[in-house]
């Protein structure tokens, strides 16, 4: 036994084996260095690079190199992916969450309102290190602002016509608060998924109100259409009346001018023979009042002559 142990202690491996072992060690070390010296980022991600625990870089899509042996660590963050938050319901299970949806309105009524929010990461470093759970902070923040706005509207407005206004106000408040919290998230959209009263009877009544409003809008639109249809006909009638009025006006003017001309002609005859003209005008007046009365003027004692109208004498140029 002593002889064998002595031989084992004195044994030395060949030089060739030492060389192979050294090469294997070098290859293993090189593989470790290569495997820990690069990383890949896809187009929906950004990478946070930390050197000895301190953030030193943020890289985008592509293949990048880093210090090996864990000197630099890389954390991939999905920044170009739209993520969602459901308030009041869960689409994957179809469940209703009344603790999130049931709210008090400005006129002290109860209403169930479901909201859908979408967001994405705007700053991976702030998202990773400024808070422990940014998504839950956004959820709590959204619920707070939603209840604040719902509490300023009456139940009729929430269930019918003011949903768009509510969405706008809630979104503005959440964006403002996210800026203050600075947790690396940005709100991309916010919508009311559903709004209804807590009881079926009240819900049916509001549906009837909405139907009546739609009927009102339909009637108004029909009235406008009828008005637009009748306007051309009315304009044509107006033009016709205006043209007729213009014709009557011109006719009256012409008639007046004719009367003035006749008067001037009679006056010129009157100036020449005042007494005869007065007598003729008197007899014509008697004839107009008593049309059956015949006025005869005895000029010679043996013959008679009917007095002609004054305008006859005017037309004859006063020859008599």
* pLDDT tens, residue by residue, 166-181: 999 999 999 999 999 9
Domain end among 77, 92, 110: 77
Residues 149 and 108 in one domain: yes
Between CA 146 and CA 105 the distance in angstroms is 11
Res. 298 pLDDT band, cuts 50 70 90: low
237 lies in a domain?
A: no
Residues 168 and 257 in one domain: no
243 lies in a domain?
A: no
Res. 291 pLDDT band, cuts 50 70 90: confident
Between CA 257 and CA 264 the distance in angstroms is 10
207 lies in a domain?
A: no
pLDDT digits (tens, 9 = 90+) for 116-162: 999 999 999 999 999 989 999 999 999 999 999 999 999 888 888 89
Res. 33 pLDDT band, cuts 50 70 90: low
Mean per-residue pLDDT over the chain, rounded: 82
Domain end among 77, 95, 120: 77
Residues 51 and 101 in one domain: no
For residue 298, the SS3 value is strand
Secondary structure element (H or E) that encloses residue 110, with its range: strand 110-121
Residues 296 and 192 in one domain: no
Give backbone dihedrals phi and psi of 240, rounded to 5 degrees, phi first: -65, -45
238 lies in a domain?
A: no
96 lies in a domain?
A: yes
Domain of residue 31: give its range. 2-77
pLDDT at 31: 66
Give backbone dihedrals phi and psi of 219, rounded to 5 degrees, phi first: -65, -40
- Number of independent structural domains in the chain: 3
The answer on pLDDT for 62 being more than 60 is yes
């Amino acid at each position: 036994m002593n002889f064998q142990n002595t031989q084992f202690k004195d044994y030395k491996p060949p030089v060739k084996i030492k060389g192979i072992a050294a090469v294997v060690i070098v290859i293993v070390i090189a593989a470790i260095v290569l495997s820990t010296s690069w990383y890949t980022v896809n187009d929906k991600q950004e990478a946070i690079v930390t050197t000895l625990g301190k953030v030193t870089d943020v890289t985008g899509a592509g293949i990048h190199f880093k210090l090996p042996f864990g000197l630099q660590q890389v954390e991939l963050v999905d920044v170009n992916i739209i993520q969602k938050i459901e308030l009041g319901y869960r689409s994957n299970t179809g469940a209703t969450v009344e603790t999130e949806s049931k709210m008090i309105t400005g006129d002290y009524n109860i209403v169930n309102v479901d909201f859908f929010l979408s967001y994405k990461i705007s700053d991976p470093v702030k998202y990773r290190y400024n808070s422990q759970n940014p998504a839950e902070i956004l959820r709590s923040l959204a619920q707070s602002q939603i209840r604040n706005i719902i509490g300023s509207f009456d139940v009729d407005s929430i269930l019918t016509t003011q949903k768009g206004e509510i969405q706008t106000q809630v979104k503005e408040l959440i964006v403002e608060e996210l800026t203050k919290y600075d947790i690396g998230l940005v709100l991309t959209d916010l919508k009311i998924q559903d709004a209804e009263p807590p009881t079926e009877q009240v819900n049916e009544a509001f549906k009837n109100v909405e139907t009546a409003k739609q009927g009102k809008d339909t009637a108004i639109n029909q009235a406008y259409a009828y008005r637009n249809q009748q306007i051309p006909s009315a304009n044509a009638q107006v033009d016709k009346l205006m043209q007729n009025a213009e014709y009557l006006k011109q006719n009256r003017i012409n008639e007046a001018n004719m009367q003035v001309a006749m008067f001037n002609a009679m006056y010129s005859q009157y100036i020449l023979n005042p007494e005869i003209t007065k007598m003729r005008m008197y007899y014509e007046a008697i004839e107009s009042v008593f049309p059956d009365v015949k006025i005869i003027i005895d000029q010679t004692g043996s013959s008679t002559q009917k007095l002609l109208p004054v305008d006859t004498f005017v037309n004859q140029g006063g020859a008599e």
